[in-house]
Amino acid sequence: MRKYINRKTILFFTAIFIVATSLYYTGTLAGKLAEEEKRKVQQVADAIRTSTISNNEREIEHAFNTITENTTIPLIQTDSKGKIISYKNIDTTGESPSNKFILKKLNEFTTEHAPIVIDLGQEKSCIYYGDTYLLKQLRYYPYIQLTIIVLFLIVLIVALTSSYKALQNQVWVGLSKETAHQLGTPLSSIEGWLELLRETDAGNEAVVEMQKDLDRLKLVADRFSKVGSEPNLVEEDLNKRLSDMVGYMQKRSPNRVKITFHEPQKEVLVNISGPLFDWVIENLIRNALDAMEGVGTIDLFVENTPQHVHVDVQDTGKGMPKSLVNKIFTPGFTTKKRGWGLGLSLSKRIIEKYHHGSLFVKHSEIGKGTTFRIILRR
């Protein structure tokens, strides 16, 4: 249950609860205020009837006071034929003195509330009324509040996301720097022992290969040390980089795995950080090797366009379902029994942040394999 409930979900449901509570409360208040206004309009209607048919001066004076005390509820009085007799509390500022504006208001009042009929004996009159300014504000208040809450949530989510990414960056940088530091001492020691071996048996093929692996380890340490600092991008031939990486990885792959680079005829010049870009390609090839379980092919393709360079790493592994495609670049996520789940997330960071490109899953099908695509800008 915990994996479905996070801070954003809690914030969302909290906002829904606040809005629902606010809508219910303001709706209740609006309903009570509307009943109160209807009662006052009824009093005005009774006062108009009294002032018309009564001969008692006190009753007439009291009715007149009741009518004049209404300074908020907009009213329109009509005769039995619908002709406007009088109106009150309707702002006609900026309107022409014709009855068009009042007729428009009368139509509005007709849709808002049922009219109150005044029995004047032989004749009848009707009172049409609308909502007061206060009641209108109260009806619109929940929607204004909803807008404010949504804006607040957007700002809060953006802030939390930025904070989370900043924390990720700190973890990545700290982990990388510490790894480079820890690798330094054993590498120096191994280099010393390798030098002794070279003095006694310099032509031994094992010594030569050990030197290559030692150089590779130094390169790995150098890569880790570069994470967190802005690398220098240098124009290089991408074909040579990929060709060297394929040759290196082929020697360290199972015999039944074939890694092929389909090299374009012309050189492909692009600005890259060589050590970091090699790291990305190595990560993609290693993931492909894990997915194939010792048997299959890995093909690398380069597509050169005027605006971009596309690098595809295609394997014939087990593939992945669509549900995993969006998760594999998440730090810590891994389908392997071993590993930290940082390889692909670091690769994506290197391509997107340092090379201003993009890395994504172009295609994946269960049982047939996966294709990763790198897009580099010209």
Q: Is 155 exposed, middle or buried (0-12, 13-18, 19+ CB in 10 A)?
A: exposed
The answer on pLDDT for 216 being more than 80 is no
Q: Are 273 and 235 in contact (CB under 8 A)?
A: no
The answer on pLDDT for 353 being more than 80 is yes
Let me know if residue 303 belongs to a domain: yes
Whichever domain contains 255, its CATH number is 3.30.565.10
Let me know if residue 203 belongs to a domain: no
Let me know if residue 287 belongs to a domain: yes
78-97 residue pLDDT tens: 888 888 888 888 887 765 54
One-letter-per-residue 3-state SS of 33-73: HHHHHHHHHHHHHHHHHHHHHCCCHHHHHHHHHHHHHCCCC
Identify the domain containing residue 264 by its residue range. Answer: 230-377
Q: Is 38 exposed, middle or buried (0-12, 13-18, 19+ CB in 10 A)?
A: middle
Query: In whole angstroms, what is the distance from residue 220 CA to residue 138 CA?
Result: 65
Strands 84-88 and 124-129: unpaired
- Domain check: are 110 and 234 in the same one? no
The answer on pLDDT for 1 being more than 80 is no
Whichever domain contains 89, its CATH number is 3.30.450
- Domain check: are 355 and 235 in the same one? yes
Let me know if residue 20 belongs to a domain: yes
Say what percent of the chain tops pLDDT 90.
22
Of 44 and 227, the one with more pLDDT: 44
- Domain check: are 245 and 363 in the same one? yes
Of 326 and 173, the one with more pLDDT: 326
- Domain check: are 239 and 348 in the same one? yes
- Domain check: are 237 and 346 in the same one? yes
| 114-132: burial string, b at 16+ Cβ within 10 Å, e else | ebbebeeeeeebbbbbbbb
Final residue belonging to a domain, choices 131, 149, 180 = 131
- Domain check: are 103 and 235 in the same one? no
Query: In whole angstroms, what is the distance from residue 63 CA to residue 44 CA?
Result: 8
Final residue belonging to a domain, choices 96, 131, 166 = 131
Strands 296-304 and 308-315: antiparallel
218-222, 230-234, 288-292, 363-367: the lowest-pLDDT one: 218-222
Let me know if residue 332 belongs to a domain: yes
Helix 57-69 and helix 7-53: axis angle, to 10°? 150
What's the confidence (pLDDT) of residue 4?
44
Of 163 and 341, the one with more pLDDT: 163
Query: In whole angstroms, what is the distance from residue 236 CA to residue 374 CA?
Result: 16
The answer on pLDDT for 309 being more than 90 is yes
In the chain, the number of structural domains is: 2
135-181 residue pLDDT tens: 888 888 777 877 887 788 788 778 877 777 777 667 666 766 667 66
Let me know if residue 305 belongs to a domain: yes
Q: What is the mean pLDDT of residues 344-350?
A: 86
Closest C-alpha to 237, from 270, 266, 264: 270
Residue 240: pLDDT band by 50, 70, 90 thresholds?
very high
Final residue belonging to a domain, choices 131, 149, 165 = 131
Let me know if residue 343 belongs to a domain: yes
What's the confidence (pLDDT) of residue 186?
78
The answer on pLDDT for 354 being more than 60 is yes
Q: Is 224 exposed, middle or buried (0-12, 13-18, 19+ CB in 10 A)?
A: buried
**Tokens 């269960």 correspond to what residue?**
366
Let me know if residue 171 belongs to a domain: no
